[in-house]
Amino acid sequence: MKILIANDHGAVALKFHLLRWLESQGHQVVNLGVDTEDRVDYPDQAALAVKEYFGGSYDLGIVCCGTGIGISIAANRFKGIRCALIHDSYTARMAKEHNNANFLAFGGRVDYKEPIEELLSVFLHAEFQGGRHAERVSKLDKI
């Protein structure tokens, strides 16, 4: 898969961790995030990621900030983006199976109960179920 990743200063270490793991799994990853903890604003990073996503034939976008909340809200302001804030394997699976998320959000200051690589793996191996979920996703994309 071709995946982009963007972050603010609250998720530098997490971004590098995710980037290394994704590359080890054979994915092509484009790093749009910051590589230092110098302050940047998560709305700007989300906008950068969305712009690149729509212009670059990506399969998935990943955005990270301190909690994942702000950057997911910012990403979801853009038409056609369905950014899911992932907390565990269940939300990772549902983000794909029911919502066909095209962006994921994670928090660099969040203590996850499961390894974050496992959450990503669950999402990447899940399949969109379509049917009634496709109808709902279509409604999201029309809002």
> CA 20, 28, 111: angle at the middle one, nearest 5?
35
**What is residue 130's DSSP assignment?**
-
What is the spatial distance between Cα 26 and Cα 63, in angstroms, rounded to a whole number?
19
Annotated catalytic residue within 17, 27, 87, 98: 98
User: Looking at 9, 64, 65, 83, which residue is catalytic?
Assistant: 65
> 65 an active-site residue?
yes
- Residues 103, 63: Cα–Cα separation, whole Å: 7
- DSSP characters over 13-70: HHHHHHHHHHHHTT-EEEE-S-SS-S---HHHHHHHHHHHHHHTT-SEEEEEESSSHH
Q: Which positions are catalytic?
A: 65, 98
